[in-house]
Every structure is written in structure tokens, then in C-alpha cells.
Structure 1
Amino acid sequence: MTAEALPAELRRAIVQIARTPRLLVACDYDGTLAPITLNPDEARPLPESVGALRSLAGLHETTTAVISGRALRDLATLSRLPAEVNLVGSHGSEFDIGFIHALDDKARELHRRLEAELEQLVLDVPGVSLEVKPASIAVHVRRAEHEAGRRVLADVHSGPSTWEGVSTTDGKEVVELAVVQTDKGRALDILRHQVGATAGIFLGDDVTDEKAFARLSGPDLGIKVGDGETLAAFRVPDTVDVALVLGFLLEERRNWLYGESAPPIERLSMLANERSVALLTPDAKLTWLCHPGPDAPA
């Protein structure tokens, strides 16, 4: 498949955002970079998406990030994404491996109480599992019998979710209880502020990604993966199309920054007089010039 498989309006939007001075490219992991699997430990990102994210991160004034509900340590281990890609775990509450040390004693005690209570709620319910993270605990019901899973989710919402200091995030076949405020939209804002992005693109498939879509405005671009109601302006069917989007964005961003066939800098020639400096390509095309003086804008 090629980028032509993407809707024409989406392609035009990607071409436009690729021309922003400072670009932030962020996306969800499960269901976006990696297909949804029955066993979460088998969810591997598509190589084409990983390659595009890495190449985008290597471009001038371009930042890439993955904002996932997974614990940061698990996300790094499972995804094996290159170091150039920023990782944010636990729905935006983990920005680095040492995050657990930032929890105060009250939050740690609440976390221990949550774990004990949730272990009792899921006891003897086949297919339900707990994912314990540094600042939260996720209750997964994807592999449970439907009615049993609904009962567990209802018990969680009527029980521990109501506790003071607990923040609840609902996803597809999962509910996560955190002892800190978690929000993918907030994480997106933090990243945007850190890199001074003039526009951002976010791709996601889950209901938790809607908080990130809600923060997009102006030149930003939101892309929903799969079915369901969304605040995103555009939609693609699956993770294969995510790879197409990232690949097309890379091509357009690279072309805008460097030209379609930019020669390496060592092949450029410099011409100068006492007032101006210019760079010429091997075929004598003017590619850069500062005027009227050497300290003037190019």
C-alpha cells in the first residue's frame, strides 16, 4: 500500500502540518503502533511505524513521542523503540523510570490499599488480570467471560473508584485506578511546552486518547484509529494505515525541510564577497543566501 490509499483530505492535512516550524508527532501504542492482541505481552509495533518515528525524530525541529497506558518500564521493554522516541507511560503520569520515587508516603499507602482491594475483587474470576504499575493499577477483563467482566468493572466503579485520591480512567475492556492525576491530554501539553511545538499530530484508538484529541487546536491534527465516536478530525481503519500516515508525514516533512533531492553539504560550493555569502548546488542552483550582510537572515 502507498500513501494514495489515504483519504485525499487527510493527505492534504498532513502536507500542511508537515510545514510547521516545530512539529510534535505523538501517538498511542496498543491499537495504534501495535495491533491489539489477546495477550498484551505479544503486542509488537509495526516495523514500518517504528522506522518512520525514528526517522522523523532525526529531522530538524521534529519531536516524536509515544503516550501509552502501559507502565513506562513495560512500554520500553516491549516496544523496543529507539532512544530518539520519547516514551510516556501510565496515561501520562510517567515521564521517566525514576517516577516512582516522586510518590509521597500517602500516595504509596493508597496504592497498597488499592492493590489489596482489587486482588479481592478479581479473586476467582477467570480471565481477569491486574497490571500493577508504579502509580496505578489496571484491571483487564478482555480475556474474561463477558458478563463476569462487566460485574468486575461495575464492582471497581462502585468501590475503589470512589475512594478519595483515586483517579479513574476507562479504556477498552480495562479500567485503571491511579493515585496521581493521569491524563494523556496533559502529557501532550507538557511535551508541547518542552519542545516549543508550533503544531502537533496525535494518533490514537482508545477512549483514553480522546483526552489528547480534546487538547488539539488550531493547526494541530488528530487521527482516530478504528471505529467509535471521536473528537479527532480524521480517521483511519487500522495500524497498517498508521504506518502509511507516519511514512507520508516523514516524506513531506523531509521534503519541506531539505528539498526532494537535497545534495549533501560537502558537495555544496560557497561564494562570498565582502557583504554576502551564498551556497550553490553542483548544478549551480542557489540554495542559500544571506543578504545584504553575512549576519542577515537567509
Structure 2
Amino acid sequence: MTDLDAAVRALARAPRLLVALDFDGVLAPIVSVPSDARPLPDSAAALEELATLPDTTVALLSGRGRADLAAVSGFGDPIRLIGSHGSEFDDGASLLDDEQRARLEQLTAELRGLVDGEPGVTLERKPAGVAVHVRNAPPDVGTRVLDAVRAGPATWDGVEATPGKAVLDLSVAKMDKGAALDLLRERVAADAVLFAGDDVTDETAFSRLRPDDVGVKVGPGDTAARHRVDAPPDVTTLLRQLVETRRHGREA
């Protein structure tokens, strides 16, 4: 039995369990067109089964806007969808005040000017910000655009910049996945948490995990997570193990 196997078996016995996962690169393989991303079918089935178990909360915690996350994941209640790095919870609360809304409009206009005519660069409008995607841009173009964004609107007062894989997220509301995970844990009164992520933006969540929690880094790169798997199909295996162990433990 590996260390991760043992950790999952222990986690499955938690009275109240929170399973929180990033989407891209964790449930869904990374694709060149973000709107084409879909969860691996077996991972989706495992998550849906987990969400039906007693005292078990399942949530996606993504950098995508919540509406986009719902569209690509195909999930809905009882699986919770939290977007924009935690700035967009699924409780309908208003995100922005009047000053932040004005700042967002100014930010959007500035970014449109910076990326206009740059091949392969796209903007993703979110409820609390804008993401600059350069995955499909030539390397020199991506570097030039992101450097300009970092030197310009990313330095504005009231704007928070969050780098990711071939993307820079700019938000007018301060939030990160770690803070969002803490809030979600509190709201569902979870005794233990499984969090899996693949991006640098997930490190804020890994850093908030407690001794009884399980953090799983998907893919390469430095991480604060105690466990690692290679790719989304390994997440499928992990989720299936958690489903079976938690269900059987409750039936015993």
C-alpha cells in the first residue's frame, strides 16, 4: 500500500468530508481550446457518486468563471461550483461594489487595448476580473503580452494578479483558492478535506491543509502537497478508491 492509498483510507473515515478539486488538468486534460475541456467520464461518475454519500460535500474550485465552469464540467447540484479562484461562490452573493465595478470596466478596456491584434491571445471576462490567456499564442507574443500586463494593469491599486499556466488572472476582488477553501470548510463543517490541483494557483489551497487532510498535486512542479500523481487518469483511480472506501466503511 502506498502512502497515498493509506491517506485515502484514513480520509474516508472522516465524519464530515469535503472533496474539493481544480478542474483543468485534474478532472479534465488540458486542451488548447478551453471551451473544449471536459471531465474524464469515469472521474465525473465517481464525483457524482461521492456527492450522494452522507456527510460528503463535493466542490470544484477553479480559476474559471462559475458559468463557464458549469458549462464545461456539466455538473450541478449537489456538486458545488466555485469559480474565479474563489471570488465567485455559488450562494448568489454579490461580488462587487460600485467602485469595483467601475475598476473592472476600466481594466477590461485597458486589456483589450493591450491584446488587440496579438495572435493567439484571448481575454476571458469573469464576474470579478479578466484572464489573459496565451496558451495558443507564439511564445514571443505570449511573453510580450504578459510582460506588458504585469507592468501595466497588474500594478494598479485594487487589482490582484494571479499567474497560472499560460494565463494571468486579474481580479478587482481579493480572493485566492486557499481562502476559498477555508471558507468552504467552515460552511460545511468538514472534519477533513481532500484537495487536488495541478497549477501554481492551487498552492494557496495546499498551504491551508491540516494534518488530517490530503493534498494531491497532479503533474510536475514544486508543491506544498504531500502527495503527487501524474495525470488526470490517476485522479480517476483516486476518486474511485475514495468512493469505494467511504461507502463500504459506512455500510460496515
TM-score (norm 2): 0.97
Distance, in Å, in 2 between the alignment partners of 1:234 and 1:102 is 34
Q: State the shift of 1:14 in Å.
A: 0.5
- Matched residue, 1:269: none
Q: 1:111 aligns with which of 97, 101, 104?
A: 104
Aligned letter for 2:198?
D
Runs of at least 5 residues in structure 1 that lack an aligned partner in the other structure: 1-6, 260-298
Distance in 1 between residues matched to 2:251 and 2:138, nearest whole Å: 54
1:165 aligns with 158
Residues 1:61 and 2:60 are matched in the alignment: no
Residue 173 of structure 2 aligns to a residue whose secondary structure is: coil
* Distance apart, 1:182 and its partner CA: 2.0
In structure 2, distance between residues paired with 1:42 and 1:65? 21
| Residue in structure 1 matching 2:224, options 223, 231, 238 | 231
Amino acid at match of 1:13: A
Give the deviation of 1:97 after TM superposition: 7.4
Instruction: Say if 2:88 and 2:95, in contact at 8 Å, map to a contact too.
Output: no
Q: 1:17 to 1:236 in 2, by over 3 A?
A: same
Inter-partner Cα distance in structure 2 for 1:68 and 1:13: 24
The answer to whether the 8 A contact 2:95-2:173 is kept is no
1:196 paired with 2:186, answer: no
- Mapped contact 1:72–1:97 kept (Cα < 8 A): no
Match of 1:187 in 2: 180
Distance, in Å, in 1 between the alignment partners of 2:3 and 2:189 is 27
Give the 5 Å matches for 1:107-256.
107-256=100-249
Partner of 1:85: 79
C-alpha distance in 2, partners of 1:63/1:96?
Answer: 14
Q: Which amino acid aligns with 2:138?
A: E
The answer to whether the Cα contact below 8 Å between 1:73 and 1:97 also exists between their aligned partners in 2 is: no
Distance 1:140 1:35 in 2: 17
CA contact (8 A) 1:117 1:160 kept: yes
> 1:137–1:44: structure 2 CA closer, same or farther, 3 Å change rule?
same
Q: Distance in 2 between matches of 1:118 and 1:233?
A: 37
Q: Which moved more, 1:7-16 or 1:216-225?
A: 7-16
Distance 2:37 2:145 in 1: 24
Aligned partners of 1:68 and 1:75 also within 8 Å: yes
Correspondence list, 1:29-108, <5 A: 29-96=23-90, 98-99=92-93, 101-108=94-101
Maintained 8 Å contact 1:54/1:82: no
How far apart in 1 are the matches of 2:66 and 2:194?
Answer: 21
Measure the CA separation in 1 of the matches of 2:92 and 2:81.
13
Task: Provide the rounded CA distance (Å) in 2 between the counterparts of 1:250 and 1:105.
Answer: 44
2: distance between equivalents of 1:196 and 1:227?
32
Measure the CA separation in 2 of the matches of 1:183 and 1:258.
Answer: 37
**Contact 2:87/2:173 (<8 A) preserved:** yes
- TM-score, normalised to structure 1, is 0.83
> Could you list the per-position Cα deviations for residues 159-186 of structure 1 after superposition, in whole angstroms to 9, with x for gaps in the alignment?
1011000011000000010000120011
> Offset of 1:21 from its aligned partner?
1.1
Note the residue ranges of structure 2 that are not aligned, 5 or more in a row.
Answer: none
TM superposition shift of 1:102: 3.7
Higher mean displacement: 215-224 or 80-89: 80-89
Residue 98 of structure 1: how far off its partner (Å)? 3.9
Higher gyration radius (CA)? 1
Work out whether residues 214 and 231 of structure 1, in 8 Å CA contact, stay in contact via their aligned partners in 2. yes
Extract structure 1 runs of 4+ deviating beyond 2 A: 96-99
The number of equivalent residue pairs is 252
Shift of 1:152: 0.7
- Per-residue displacement from partner, 1:248-271 (whole Å, max 9, x unpaired)? 011111111112xxxxxxxxxxxx
Whole-Å separation in 1 of the counterparts to 2:236 and 2:32: 22
